[in-house]
A and B are shown apart, each in its own frame.
Chain A
Amino acid sequence: MDRPVAGAVEPGSMPNTSSTRTILLLGGGLLLLLVCSLFLGRYPTLSLMSPELLRTDEMAWRLVWGLRLPRLIAAALVGMTLAAAGTVFQTIFANPLVEPGFLGVSPGAAFGAAFCIVFLGNQAFLVQGFAAFFAVAGLLFSYALAIRMRFGGWLLRLVLAGIAVSALFSSALGILKYLADPLSQLPEITFWLLGGLWSITWERLLPILPVVLLALGVLLLMRWRLNALGLDDTTAFSLGLAPARERAVLLFAAVAATAAVVSIAGMIGWVGLIVPHLARRCFGADCRRSMPAAMLIGGMLTVLCDDIARCAMAGEIPLGILTSLVGAGGFMVLMTSGALHRAK
């Protein structure tokens, strides 16, 4: 089929072959990383376990299947969710400096988890539930506050409301830390705040899977529509969109997935901020490609950081620290280097 005009341009419109191929390669890369990470660990020593051992040693099999596999899946999902949510937030708010936690979601989750740990005990389900609940509550508070504000346009109001709600939750968190038992509770809270996947088992992962997979599905399916939702309201309306409603759907899906993932992994920062930038640099700003690319890059980043977290030192390094190191460092490199090679 001839497209006479096409010959004159290099259309970046259709996900053309080689960039689709690159994304599929990324997907393959993530799977490969996951499989390799399954065999990496500290049992019986710090090494790459041979598949032989898996067959002969029952403990090895139980370790890999019962602890490592859910942990790696969780790591991948955390990275994918935060990156996808980051893309959504940055595109809708047309601001490259926002990340999924900023509308009161992250501080809310931290407050919920700390509240539960201090007053209601350390049971995993309770902590998870409270974290997720207050994460979504943080978003709803921000929304409610933004509606009542008498200052500025809609997006500005949301940002200001997010800042206020975040500050509120953060100070409440400070009080909780003061009240916590320094022996049993404070370390729990601190570890939760620094983020870590060290206690993931299947029974903690399964409850969040439906929410996360559903939300990620929604985000992926609406990735082209997302491009238009960053335009201003009148223009979006003239293009046949319902801007408020569609943005709400996307934001809610992004926040629900983020809340679910944060409830099992604690605070993991920087992934949601920097991975969308990286994906846009390499694949272009169009969300049709930058969204799946961001998800895959985010997944690989967290799996890699998690590998380091559990293998580098005898004790566990909190995952949030590693993602911050890598994220912040990568951010600096990204901003100071020249334009990265753009996938054609």
Chain B
Amino acid sequence: MDDGLLRFERVSFAYPGSEREVSRGIDLAVVPGTVTAILGPNGAGKTTLLNLALGWLQPQTGMVRFEGRSVAEWGRRELGCRMALVPQRESAAFEHTVLETVLLGRSPHLGLLELPGDRDVEIALEAIARCGIVSFASRPVNCLSGGELQMVLLARALAQKPLLLLLDEPFSHLDLANKSRLLRVIRSLVQNGVTIILTTHEPEIAAAIATHLVLMREGQVRRVGSLDEVMTTPFLSDTYGIPVEVREVNDRKIVLWC
């Protein structure tokens, strides 16, 4: 294994038919066991970054490596057993139950024609317990609130038993209580050896959970480094384009803006 679970090497990407580069010359390395927060304003290209990491989008120049191998070379199922995505939002057309939805996370471990077995159900139930949504495991998914649904999507990703977990703006639709719960879950995951990459546009979330920080603006990576190094007033002001102030209160960084 190389130094870095996930590496971006001078990656550039533009959507086919568009000239505007959504990601420009990205260089990034994610170390196992860390929580990396990708921070930046709307439209900075954060979701694109996650899609590139997944291998769903192919970069025009440069390469994305996972565990040393180019993502394009990995088999889909192999990669699915190691990397999981929690999407920002999902709409359900039909009334699948929570357990059925979480069980879909076992797909990469099963063959094309295989049906999930007892062991798969066990794993799904464990993931559900982990996320604290046991009490509505058999409720249909389209009856849930935004926060509950987010936990379901997280449980599905956990059912994949990934080494690397990607979360796309996971805190956007959550109230304080749910945010707190999600933070606890993520911390316990890190303790169990899962590497986390999450995108957010709120600096305080990053401050609460991240060990490393990536600041992005207009498709470019402005700063990479540990939380303490990167989360400072000048860097953040530069990233957001408005004056902000970073202060430390009770060992936690807070960000003041107006």
A5 touches B125 (CB 8 A): yes
Comparing A100-108, A261-269, A282-290, the segment that makes contact with chain B is: A282-290
Q: Is A315 an interface residue (CB 8 A)?
A: no
Q: Give Cα distance in the complex from A288 to B116, angstroms.
A: 10
Closest B residue to A1 by CB, please name it.
B118
B80 touches A240 (CB 8 A): yes
Comparing A122-130, A157-165, A217-225, the segment that makes contact with chain B is: A217-225
Q: Give Cα distance in the complex from A238 to B84, angstroms.
A: 6
B80 touches A14 (CB 8 A): no
Q: Is B90 an interface residue (CB 8 A)?
A: yes
Give chain A nearest CB distance to B55 CB in angstroms. 8
Interface size class of A (residues with CB under 8 A): 35 or more
B87 touches A13 (CB 8 A): no
**Cβ contact of A13, chosen from B79, B100, B112, B134, cutoff 8 A:** B100
Closest A residue to B168 by CB, please name it.
A234
Give chain B nearest CB distance to A88 CB in angstroms. 13
Q: Is B96 an interface residue (CB 8 A)?
A: yes
A239 touches B134 (CB 8 A): no
Comparing A28-36, A90-98, A173-181, A187-195, the segment that makes contact with chain B is: A90-98
Q: Give Cα distance in the complex from A6 to B94, angstroms.
A: 24
A interface: dominant SS: loop
Total A-B pairs, Cβ < 8 A: 119
Q: Is B246 an interface residue (CB 8 A)?
A: no
**Cβ contact of A240, chosen from B81, B93, B134, cutoff 8 A:** B81
A12 touches B54 (CB 8 A): no
Q: Is B70 an interface residue (CB 8 A)?
A: no
Chain B residue contacts of A241, Cβ below 8 A? 76, 80, 107
B 85-117 binary contact with A (CB < 8 Å = 1; else 0):
101001101111101100111011010111110
Closest B residue to A5 by CB, please name it.
B125
Chain A residue contacts of B54, Cβ below 8 A? 234, 237-238
**Cβ contact of A239, chosen from B51, B104, B114, B118, cutoff 8 A:** B104
A 215-256 binary contact with B (CB < 8 Å = 1; else 0):
000000110110110111111011111100010000000000
Chain B residue contacts of A227, Cβ below 8 A? 96, 100, 104
A8 touches B100 (CB 8 A): no
Q: Is A333 an interface residue (CB 8 A)?
A: no
**Cβ contact of A284, chosen from B87, B95, B118, cutoff 8 A:** B95
Give chain A nearest CB distance to B161 CB in angstroms. 12
Give chain A nearest CB distance to B144 CB in angstroms. 14
A9 touches B134 (CB 8 A): yes
Q: Which 10 A-B pairs have the closest CB atoms?
A: A240-B80, A240-B108, A238-B85, A94-B93, A285-B94, A9-B137, A240-B77, A239-B107, A13-B99, A5-B125
With A94-B94, A96-B93, A239-B108 known, 7 other A-B pairs at CB within 8 A are A96-B94, A224-B116, A227-B104, A230-B93, A234-B56, A235-B85, A285-B96
A residues contacting B by CB (< 8 A) are: 1, 3, 5-6, 8-14, 90-91, 94-96, 221-222, 224-225, 227-228, 230-235, 237-242, 246, 280, 284-286, 288
Can you pick out 20 interface pairs between chain A and chain B where the beta carbons lie within 8 Å of each other? Answer: A8-B134, A10-B138, A11-B121, A12-B97, A94-B94, A224-B116, A230-B93, A231-B90, A234-B87, A235-B85, A238-B54, A238-B80, A238-B166, A239-B80, A239-B105, A239-B160, A240-B79, A280-B94, A284-B96, A284-B97
